[in-house]
Amino acid sequence: MFVKQNFFHTLKAHIMTITVSFTLILTVLTASVSFSLSQSYARRNLVQSTEFNLQLVSGVIAQDLSSLDTLAKWCGNNSQILSYLSCPNPSPRETLSAYKRFNEEYQNNRARVYIQRLIVTDATHSRIFQVGSATSISNPVTVYNIDRLFQNRKGSAAAWESIERDPYGPKGSAYSGVITVFRPVLHPTTRKAIGYVYLAASTELITDPLSGYHAAEDSNLFAALGNHLYKINGGIFTEMQKPCSGNTALESAMTLDAKTQVRSVALQDGMAGTVVSYPVQNTGISLMNSLSEQELSRQKMVFLRVVLLICVSLLLLGLVLTVLLSRLINTPVAKIRRRLDRIAKGDFSADPEIEWNNEFGDVGRGINRLSLNVAGLMNRRIEDEKKKKDLEYQMLQSQINPHFLYNTLDSIKWMATIQNASGIAEMTTALARLLKSVAKGTRKVIPLREEISLLDNYFLIQQYRYGGAITLKKDLDENLLDNVILRFTLQPLLENAIFHGIEPKGGAGNIRVAARLQDEKTVEVSVEDDGVGMDETAIRKIFADENENTSGLFRQIGIRNVHRRIQYEFGEQYGLTITGKPGVFTRASVLLPRRSCIS
């Protein structure tokens, strides 16, 4: 029964309230905030855009510089090169081997295209290894002119501190400007310098990543190497005669990365400006870009136009918003549809998210009540099925009147004993014990020893029937006799072994009942006969036959029923399996949980 909704709780009232409120709030916020944010937003946007571009370029340059620095370190630490440099008189073979390894490492370097000259020399400059793209277009490096590399160097390591002229390049050469790494090679034991590594990289290592860098006409790119500042224009580095003056750090919140520096400086032409600087990782190099005032003004104008457009649009938004907010109906409808889909897939749990305080909430509450009722009905159905199976099992045990027959058979036993008919007396006693086992109650799970006792009584009757031509051998682990097993599990298997295994063979044969521990959690009880055997087709037919039945004393306890009863009681991982070979044997194995049963 649906409850009549108050007007203020209806969707129509909600839509009207949201429309008016949203329009008023948006108008006030736009008018008050837009002017205060326009300038800071435009500047921050330009700074972060410049910072992002510098980060991309710096990342590429850092990779190449790292590869070159790794190569220079390798030259100073490789065992072959150290051995070559420390050896007073290396053989030609040692020299060639060291050079091949040196050249191989050079060829495998990802940034070798930028290596103008890589030289390894001993402390006395009497031996030289050199590779690089400039060796073929510049003056050769020999033991006579290698001293040029060591001018103004005191032997200490230095890397990427300035842009130098290639001391071996011709004047006006395109390869005259290089950035260098200089490292001494130290003896591994004495730590004395036994040689030097010199690596000269082309400035294209910096300018190539900058080739696609967009910079406005009134902005400039700079590169700082050590204490030197260079202006980059068209791939050409021009050293600034004096650094930019003024070094006022601006608000760090404008940047995306803490390593980025934004400073207000006085440029060399006397004009003030803002410079964004980002370091190249693990080097002494920084890239700098002065912000374009033209770009800043353009972004401010764009932002102001957008604000103006928003303010004008608010006049129309009030009308359009009513239509858009009416689509709020689509959200509850979509949730209800998804809830119905989950119900169709079997999820009958209640969903409080569809119980809104409006008309759709009534529908959601009805759906939740319906799903809970269906779930309860299904649970009752499952319980009824379980009770039905238990009743079927009880009916199975009560198909005969065990007490009446037991008393009658007891009288027959005594009469046979008086008349010296011992066979009749034993058969009658065995049958009486079987019926007495039935009369014990409806207990389904019993110890294995009770099931074996029942099996002995049944076999005694069959043994007299076949004149003693059938033998039963038991191979039982004493520790397993208290293990759980369903009542009447082994009797159908023994009956099947006699009637369908041994009898078709001629009525004589052997049956073996065994119980063993398959693993720590599983017990296997098997009944094996040496009768006519079975093939895979016959085995599959047994488990596929829904109308399977037996003609023995306990009807309806067939092979397939044994398998289903075990799985129903203990779980899907347990049950009955049958293996066999035609003309040789048939083995029925019952897998049970390792669990003690106190009878």
Q: If you average pLDDT over residues 386-412, what whole number do you get?
A: 55
What confidence category does residue 553 fall into, taking pLDDT thresholds of 50, 70 and 90?
Answer: very low
> Tokens 């078709």 belong to which residue?
504
What is the C-alpha separation between 559 and 581, in angstroms, rounded? 18
Whether 266 and 272 have beta carbons less than 8 Å apart is answered as: yes
Q: Which band of pLDDT confidence, cut at 50, 70 and 90, is reported for residue 9?
A: low
Crossing angle for the helix pair 559-570 and 536-544, nearest 10 degrees? 60
- 3-class SS of residue 415: helix
Tell me the pLDDT band of 334, cut-offs 50, 70 and 90.
confident
Give 431-470 pLDDT, tens digit per residue.
Answer: 666 666 655 555 678 899 988 988 888 888 788 777 778 8
Tell me the mean pLDDT in the region 131-142: 79
Nearest 5°: CA angle at 150, between 144 and 155?
A: 135
Determine the average pLDDT of the residues in 364-391: 78
With bands split at pLDDT 50, 70 and 90, how would you rate the model's confidence at 556?
Answer: very low
The per-residue pLDDT for 104 is 93
**More confident site: 347 or 411:** 347
Task: Give residue 399's pLDDT.
Answer: 46
Distance CA 435, CA 417 (A): 20
Question: Could you tell me if 60 and 210 are in contact, meaning their C-beta atoms sit under 8 angstroms apart?
Answer: no
- Of 535 and 36, more confident: 535
493-514 as b/e: b if 16+ CB within 10 A: bbbbbbebbbbeeeeebbbbbb
pLDDT at residue 186 tops 80: yes
Number of other CB atoms surrounding residue 302 within 10 Å: 13
User: What is the rounded CA–CA span in Å between residue 47 and residue 61?
Assistant: 21
- Residue 322 burial by CB count (10 A; 0-12/13-18/19+): exposed, middle or buried? middle
Dump pLDDT digits (tens) for 191-211. 888 989 999 898 888 888 888
**Number of Cβ atoms within 10 Å of the Cβ of 35:** 11
pLDDT higher than threshold 60 for residue 314: yes
DSSP string for residues in 119-157: EEEETTS--EEEE-TTTTTSPPP-TTTGGGGGTT--SS-
- Residue bearing the bigger pLDDT, 381 or 318: 381
pLDDT band at 96 (very low <50, low <70, confident <90, very high): very high
The bridge status of strand 470-476 relative to strand 509-519 is parallel
Report which of residues 367 and 573 the model is more confident about: 573
At 226, the pLDDT band (50, 70, 90 cuts) reads: confident
pTM across the whole model: 0.47
Is residue 222 within 8 A of residue 230, CB to CB? The reply is yes
| Residue 552 predicted with pLDDT over 60 | no
φ and ψ at residue 123, rounded to 5 degrees: -65, -30
- Residue 551 reports pLDDT greater than 60: no
Q: Which pair of structure tokens corresponds to residue 294? A: 């033209």
Task: Give the model confidence (pLDDT) of 502-537 as tens digits.
Answer: 988 887 899 999 999 999 899 999 999 999 999 988
118 or 274, which is more confident? 118
Structure tokens at 173: 């050469």
pLDDT bin (cut points 50, 70, 90) of residue 379 is confident
Does the pLDDT of residue 579 top 90, yes or no?
yes
Q: Is the pLDDT of residue 328 over 90?
A: no
